[in-house]
Amino acid sequence: GAGGGPGAAGGGGGEHAFADNEALRPAAERAWRLELLAVEGQSMDKFKLDTLERIDRANALRLRGNAMFKLGRVLRALDYYERGSKLMDVLEAEELGLPGKKDSKAVERNRRIWQCQQPLLLNWALALMKRGCWQEAERKCTEVLMDIEKECVKALFRRGQCNIQLGNHEQARTDLRRAAELDTTIAKDVEREMRKVEEMQRNVDQHDAGFAQKVVTEFLQEADARSARPPPARPAEEEEAPVGPTDHLVRTLQAQEAAAQQQGASEDDYRRQ
């Protein structure tokens, strides 16, 4: 069938309901199709294919993905890039069992695998960016930079674009500056992206400043409201304050003095009788 590879069966909704040679029609997201793409008995099991066969199939999938991308068939392009990339994620053993000894043929085949994998990952990232999948696209670019070519200009530039959208402004600046250093022909593109970084950073700073001002204003308003409130009314009957040692002594002396005065008065009364 026109819409898939050897031995594949397909179906789905939206864009996937259209074959590669069909243009998308209005209301494409509501279209559905189930189709048998091929009955060939061929296996796409990457472990049953030798390295050169895997490379050939991966390159063919990449080219089909590129064609779909140019037609605006981004979802179909993503499918092809992913399938091609997965064919390239198995490397051959290079060690011959002796320290420092490597199989030169295996080394060369692995080099060709990486050479095939790099554009697949970069195109996969670009298609993801087209769909607004910035985090996933950033991971594909990082995979290229960590595993294949640490100073790949396309990977640096695209990862910088992803980090702008993800709010990782400092990392975006680092990637974009390095890309411009490695390839001066993209200076204008880098400058354009740098302006985006600065604009987004200003927006973030203004938002943070506005939030901080709001917090301070609310705090001051609450403080003013508290100070304007009348003091709470005292209860009608307040509890007697606790008696301290000094108070107790004064009361004892007063009681003794009153008792003495009462006794003196009684004696005077007795004498007068």
Cα–Cα dist 55/112, whole Å: 8
pLDDT, position 126: 98
Dihedral over Cα of 8, 14, 17, 23: its sign: negative
pLDDT tens across 170-204, in order?
999 999 999 999 999 999 999 999 999 998 878 77
Indicate the helix (H) or strand (E) that contains 203: helix 187-228
- What's the whole-model pTM score? 0.63
Decide: 160 and 196 in contact? Cβ < 8 Å. Answer: no
pLDDT at site 96: 73
**pLDDT score of 266 more than 80:** no
Q: Which fold has domain 45-93+107-150?
A: 1.25.40
Q: Give CA–CA dist 137/123, Å, rounded.
A: 10
For range 215-233, the mean pLDDT: 72
Q: Where in the chain is the domain with CATH 1.25.40.10?
A: 45-93+107-150
Angle at alpha carbon of residue 239, lines to 238 and 243, rounded to 5°: 135
- Which phi and psi (to 5°) does residue 50 adopt? -80, 170
Minimum mean pLDDT among 8-22, 47-61, 77-91: which range?
A: 8-22
The pair phi, psi for residue 66, each rounded to 5°, is -60, -40
pLDDT, tens only, 32-64: 555 544 444 444 577 778 899 999 999 999 999
Per-residue pLDDT, averaged over 134-146, amounts to 98
